[in-house]
Structure 1
Amino acid sequence: MERFLENLMYSLRWLLAPIYLGLSLAVILLGLKFFQEVFHVVPIIFEIKEVDLILLTLTLIDIALVGGLLVMVMLSGYENFVSTLDINRDSEKLAWLGKIDSGGLKNKVAASIVAISSIHLLKVFMNPQNMGHDTIKWYVIIHLTFVGSAFAMGYLDKLTRKSDD
């Protein structure tokens, strides 16, 4: 009975595969949104204010960072929790693929969230007239919470890796 339950639980990891595949759909949607933003600005590029162009550029960077985060979670999560990716030797393989364990993935996700939050906070600072001081204060507090959490997770990971050695 115990062996059956263990095999069943181990086999159920494949339920994660469609979830990781679904993340690829989110990457496609982000790509569509990215190019929608670009196509909206092209006809008015000479009329747009510099600040608005910088805000748009920050939005595009934000979309790219979220897309990269999705790809990292999708591929590393699949490889860590479902199955090893069997990529054709002729294909280009990402350097980090197969080298990130679940702890490393968690730290990279935290660092990506801090980067995304930084870009968003910069956008808020570039356009403060649309926000009250309390709103900006909360954006800063939330960002610092992300930074503190990422630092704490990295520090704890470093401590646990040292104790494992």
Structure 2
Amino acid sequence: MLERIFERTLFASRWLLAPFYVALMIGLVVLLIKLAQELLHFALHAWEAAEAQTILGVLTLVDLSFTASLLIIVMFSGYENFVSKFDHTDHKDWPEWMGTIDFTGLKLKLMSSIVAISAIQLLKSFMDVKNNVDRDLMWLVGIHMVFVVSGLLMALTDRVVAGHHDK
């Protein structure tokens, strides 16, 4: 009986993750505010901006979009994998991937999103190379490569483990 109470309490503790997902939702609102700021700044200076500045502005919008998408993936997948399943019967526009991403898929999507965000940051730095120190650029390239290699190793590890379980 003590074991059963412990297991139920342990199982119920998964709801302690819910505030984390609420915090990510608030982070999404903050990103939306930042997007509005960047878009306003971008639009107000569109006529006088050089081509490189325009590309940097667009890359900033893409970067914010990727980061917001990453938050959505983590919020929904994390909630479904660790807290509770969504009842999406009333939602006609429910994305197919929601409810189908397991922890392995979540890790890979998360890592690929981080690589994409890192690549955009790197591209933004290369577009503004005159205002960046070589040392900083080398650090950005090194960090990006760590993300790329980590993602590849994670995917390879998951593939090897999945192949091992198939036998």
Interval of TM-score (by shorter of Structure 1 and Structure 2):
over 0.9
Query: Is it true that 1:103 corresponds to 2:104 in the alignment?
Result: yes
Deviations, residues 43-95 of structure 1 (Å, cap 9, x unaligned)? 22111111111101101100000000000000000000000011243431111
AA of the residue aligned to 1:137: M
User: Could you tell me the TM-score, scaled by structure 2's length?
Assistant: 0.95
2:6 maps to: 5
Q: How does 1:143-154 map to 2 (within 5 A)?
A: 143-154=144-155
Deviations, residues 117-140 of structure 1 (Å, cap 9, x unaligned)? 000000011111222111111110
Q: How does 1:20-59 map to 2 (within 5 A)?
A: 20-59=21-60
Percent sequence identity over matched residues?
41
1:120 maps to: 121
Gaps of 5+ in 1: none
Distance in 1, matches of 2:155 and 2:109, equals 9
User: Could you tell me the TM-score, scaled by structure 1's length?
Assistant: 0.96
Question: Cα 1:90–1:135, aligned 2, differ >3 Å: closer, same or farther?
Answer: closer
Distance in 1, matches of 2:44 and 2:119, equals 29
Distance in 2, matches of 1:84 and 1:90, equals 14
Distance in 1, matches of 2:97 and 2:46, equals 38
Query: Is it true that 1:72 corresponds to 2:79 in the alignment?
Result: no
Gaps of 5+ in 2: none
Match of 2:47, SS state, is coil
Query: Is it true that 1:129 corresponds to 2:148 in the alignment?
Result: no
AA of the residue aligned to 1:77: G
Distance in 1, matches of 2:145 and 2:42, equals 32
Residues 41-50 or 110-119, more deviating: 41-50
1:159 maps to: 160
Distance in 2, matches of 1:89 and 1:161, equals 34
